């Protein structure tokens, strides 16, 4: 039986990747600084470890009498654009430590195959209508945020260790990923989850606030497609970074319209100042397409899976809030 270590298994993509590996017949150890917030882990073993500590990286890789065939490094301090701009120092510090320590430990302990989750945040801003950008065009580098700079550095770290230690390194640059069981509130959520939450919270005919003027262009990749791309890439001969993303590009306003259609609501949008990030994205998927991968779930279908889950979380939170309010009122009346 093949053995895999998933770092960041308590997170959104990591949690879904564990399920994918189990379905493929793997024995899986998951590692994270926290348990999965929304679902019991599917991992055979789950360890709470802070991977900023080199000793914890070695502990994560230690397996009595066996070694891991594959390591998937998705652990990161990350969130949506608001978090990326507000926590740039924490992102640079925490993620650099995680990636340096885990790559060093994996190479030193003889891991044969190592996956690193990078991001399209490594690329410069693009203007609408520009031709597709290939992986090689990340250099000369000009990311618009520190998260992207750290990801680019961590790619170089992984490739350097791969060369020296003979470790097969596979790197995916993720486009925006969404789906059920992801962060949907609290400041770390990304645009699809944030819009789903806002629409779920408002009454039909109500108003939601959206950062920016709504014209920013993005691609959103459903999580099942993303983990399929990760798995295909890991078992391929493709070296260097590989973009993984859905080829459907929409504006933020079009994303809002899609969520409203799925929700069956008419919602007014108030555009307000806020962190937006780059104006446009348009990336080549030719390398991942060469492995037979294609996005199967496009935006309306994916939101159809995601919105009901987030709406259910909103309702649960509302019920908890109502109970807490009632309990507080009873305690006040009892005095």
Number of domains in the chain: 1
Query: Phi, psi at residue 68, to the nearest 5°?
Result: -80, 135
Q: With cut-offs at 50, 70 and 90, classify the pLDDT of residue 168.
A: very high
Give the number of other CB atoms < 10 A from CB of residue 253: 16
pLDDT at residue 230 tops 90: yes
Q: Note whether residue 56 is domain-resident.
A: yes
Query: Phi, psi at residue 233, to the nearest 5°?
Result: -65, -45
Question: Residue 5 pairs with which residues in a beta bridge?
Answer: 29, 71
Instruction: Tell me which residue of 15, 5, 159, 8 sits closest to 69, measured CA to CA.
Output: 5
Residues 209-223 have pLDDT tens digits of: 999 999 999 999 999
Residues 94-106 have pLDDT tens digits of: 999 999 999 999 9
Domain CATH code at residue 27: 3.40.50.720
pLDDT > 70 fraction of the chain, expressed in percent and rounded = 96
Say what the pLDDT of residue 327 is.
63
Q: Note whether residue 30 is domain-resident.
A: yes
Residues 27-69 have pLDDT tens digits of: 999 999 999 999 999 999 999 999 999 999 999 999 987 889 9
- Is 147 catalytic? The answer is yes
Q: Note whether residue 269 is domain-resident.
A: no
Instruction: Tell me which residue of 195, 212, 217 sits closest to 273, measured CA to CA.
Output: 212
Question: Residue 28 pairs with which residues in a beta bridge?
Answer: 4
> Which residue among 123, 147, 220, 249 is the active-site one?
147
Q: Note whether residue 143 is domain-resident.
A: yes
Residues 83-96 have pLDDT tens digits of: 988 999 999 999 99
Q: Note whether residue 50 is domain-resident.
A: yes
pLDDT at residue 244 tops 70: yes
Say what the pLDDT of residue 8 is.
98
Residues in the chain: 335
Q: Give CA–CA dist 119/171, Å, rounded.
A: 9
Say what the pLDDT of residue 64 is.
86
Of the two residues 322 and 79, the one the predictor is more confident about is 79
**pLDDT, average across residues 226-247:** 98
pLDDT at residue 129 tops 90: no
Q: Note whether residue 129 is domain-resident.
A: yes
- Cβ-contact 18, 39 below 8 angstroms: no
Range of the domain at 27: 3-179+220-244
Q: Note whether residue 314 is domain-resident.
A: no
Say what the pLDDT of residue 329 is.
47
């Amino acid at each position: 039986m093949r053995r895999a270590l998933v770092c960041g298994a308590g997170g959104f993509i990591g949690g879904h990747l564990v399920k994918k590996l189990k379905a493929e017949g793997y024995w899986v150890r998951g590692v994270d600084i926290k348990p999965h917030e929304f679902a019991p882990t599917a991992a055979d073993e789950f360890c709470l470890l802070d991977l900023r500590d080199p000793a914890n990286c070695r502990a994560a890789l230690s397996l009595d009498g066996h070694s891991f065939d594959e390591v998937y490094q998705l652990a990161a301090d990350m969130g949506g654009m608001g978090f990326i701009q507000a926590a740039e120092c924490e992102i640079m510090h925490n993620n650099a430590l995680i990636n340096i320590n885990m790559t060093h430990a994996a190479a030193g302990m003889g891991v044969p195959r190592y996956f690193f989750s990078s991001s399209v945040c490594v690329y410069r801003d693009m203007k609408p209508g520009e031709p597709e950008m290939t992986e090689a065009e990340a250099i000369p580098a000009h990311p618009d945020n520190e998260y992207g700079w750290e990801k680019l550095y961590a790619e170089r770290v992984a490739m350097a260790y791969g060369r020296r230690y003979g470790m097969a390194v596979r790197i995916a640059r993720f486009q925006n990923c969404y789906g059920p069981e992801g962060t949907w509130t609290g400041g770390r959520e990304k645009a699809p989850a944030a819009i789903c939450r806002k629409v779920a919270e408002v009454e039909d005919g109500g108003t939601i606030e959206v950062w920016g003027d709504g014209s920013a262009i993005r691609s959103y990749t459903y999580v099942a497609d993303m983990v399929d791309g990760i798995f295909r890439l890991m078992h391929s001969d493709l070296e260097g970074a590989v973009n993984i993303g859905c080829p459907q590009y929409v504006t933020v306003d079009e994303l809002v319209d899609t969520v409203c259609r799925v929700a069956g609501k008419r919602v007014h949008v108030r555009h307000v100042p806020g962190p937006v990030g780059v104006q446009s994205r348009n990336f080549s998927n030719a390398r991942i397409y060469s492995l037979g991968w294609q996005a199967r779930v496009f935006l309306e279908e994916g939101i159809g899976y995601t919105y009901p889950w987030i709406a259910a979380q909103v309702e649960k939170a509302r019920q908890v809030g109502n109970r807490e309010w009632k309990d507080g009122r009873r305690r006040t009346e009892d005095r």
